[in-house]
Amino acid sequence: MASYDVDLLVLGAGAAGLTAAGTAANLGAKTMMVERDRLGGDCTWTGCVPSKTLLHAAHLRSSAGTFVDRFAAADADVPQADWRAVIGDVHETREEIYQDADAPEIFEGFGIDVVRGDARFTGPHAVHVDGAEGGRDVTFRMAVICTGGRAAPPPIPGLDGVPYLTNESLFEIETQPRHLVIIGGGPIGCEMGQAFRRLGSEVTILDKGDRLLGRDDADHSEILRGVLEREGVGLVLGAEVERVEGEAGAITVRATADGRPQTVEGDALLVATGRRPNVEDLGLDRAGVAFTEKGITVDDRCRTSQKHVWAAGDCTGEYQLTHMSEHMAKQAVTNAVLKVPAKIDRDGIAWATYTTPEVAQLGPTEAELTDDGRSFVTYRFPYSKVDRAATEHATDGHIKIHATRWRGKILGASVVGERAGELIAMLAVAKKGGVSVRTFSDTIIPYPTYGLGARRAADQYYVQKQFPAAIDVVKRVFGYRGLTPPPPDPDRVL
């Protein structure tokens, strides 16, 4: 066996890289992790952590407003947001998480050689790393590429000539926008749109689709749309953005929607569309690793065109989800270090958008199952019948569980409502474990919880299996005198 400096080289220290390096080291592989910037990647610094911290501040202010409207004295005022305090909390929180989970010392404690610098392949088993202390050449037996991705604004005329924000710069602004204009009605656009609106900014979201959150259930996206409009978020859907112009503090977006011109003026612009994999300047051609503009090409085991090189996370262009990056990294290292076949669980993909109400999805939507010609039943339950939701006045919500017709095998689920992400997590475990809708319905869930709403949706399995003829037989055999239930009706919810 050839001699190499390290058993496993990990390029990138975001969600995928940290998972890959930590897993490999714990399995006994001599591991080096190279990162050009800060450990933690997008999730810690420009994605999940700062956005959810900002959403929390916005939720607190919205809750204060709700309390004032319903329960406070007539002369009570809703507290105004202090942007410096809000963004200061965002910065403090991500630094705290970095120190607790992502700092180099933590990984060095696992025996990982953490190197700060730019790495480029110089051959199939070699990289050159340029760091603050100069350059060094490193050879490796195996490698996992986890270089992530970055914001990729679309080619909108005039965009290059105006100052605009992406998720990479949004959390560094020193002044809260008076009117934030957002291009993109996906998860980032919806989350940040609601957050800034609740913190007091005027907000307008433009999206080329005819609805928000195009990957999620259409009915549930409409529920979110109604809430956002009720809270005062301006929505321009079906919008073709034709031009952006202006200067700092005065930006104009010109678009066409439904055949009519639309002009939106604001003092800040957030472009929340598109991502691009970080594959440039890695020397992938020298390593013999195939890639396209969409990302590094991998198979179901995260293996690249080189049998000793794997890739995971956003650099593959497959998914833009932190949890999927971690999942792919685990599969890659399992294949690389243990030589145990481990495939990506494409059937168990779940995600959530953390607006209020949250919107969450597990597996295919109802429309996708229909388009694929699958035979299935959808069991539904509204939040208006979830007692916990009623007590918290959070009845904007709905649950759908998609399952095979007779065995009740869970194929997917869609949830919109308070704590939808937690409900979809429950259903993801059930789906992964092969738990049927019937078994889920038979599970004891504490009352009153939002989780009980998911079980109540599963209860509809029994409702739909009640046939009048069978009940009539039971009545005759035992001499019962009650009413015979009506035939199964998918629109009837009990």
Domains 159-273 and 357-478 share a fold: no
Question: Which residues face 290 on adjacent strands?
Answer: none
Those residues whose C-beta lies under 8 Å from the C-beta of residue 62, and which sit 6 or more positions away, are 198, 231, 356
What pLDDT score was predicted for residue 1? Answer: 55
Q: Does the annotation flag 315 for ligand binding?
A: no
Of 164, 152, 177, 138, the C-alpha closest to 54 is: 177
pTM: 0.95
Q: Does the annotation flag 185 for ligand binding?
A: yes
Q: Does the annotation flag 209 for ligand binding?
A: no
Q: Does the annotation flag 95 for ligand binding?
A: no
Q: Where are the beta strands (DSSP E) in 107-156?
A: 113-116, 118-123, 126-131, 134-145, 149-151
Q: Does the annotation flag 191 for ligand binding?
A: yes
pLDDT along the chain (494 residues), means of 10: 90 98 98 97 96 98 93 86 97 98 97 97 97 91 98 95 96 98 98 98 97 97 98 98 96 96 97 95 97 97 98 95 97 97 95 98 96 96 98 97 95 98 98 97 97 97 87 93 86 82
Domain formed by 357-478, architecture = 2-Layer Sandwich (3.30)
Q: Does the annotation flag 14 for ligand binding?
A: no
φ and ψ at residue 183, rounded to 5 degrees: -100, 110
Residue 220 contacts residue 416 (beta carbons within 8 Å)? yes
Could you write out the DSSP letters of every residue in 309-365? EEE-GGGGTS---HHHHHHHHHHHHIIIII-------GGG-EEEE-SSSEEEEESS-
Q: Does the annotation flag 47 for ligand binding?
A: no
Q: Does the annotation flag 117 for ligand binding?
A: no
Residue 140 contacts residue 8 (beta carbons within 8 Å)? yes
Instruction: Identify the CATH homologous superfamily for domain 159-273.
Output: FAD/NAD(P)-binding domain (3.50.50.60)
What pLDDT score was predicted for residue 466? Answer: 80
Instruction: Identify the CATH homologous superfamily for domain 6-39+103-150+276-346.
Output: FAD/NAD(P)-binding domain (3.50.50.60)
Indicate the domain borders of the chain: 6-39+103-150+276-346, 159-273, 357-478
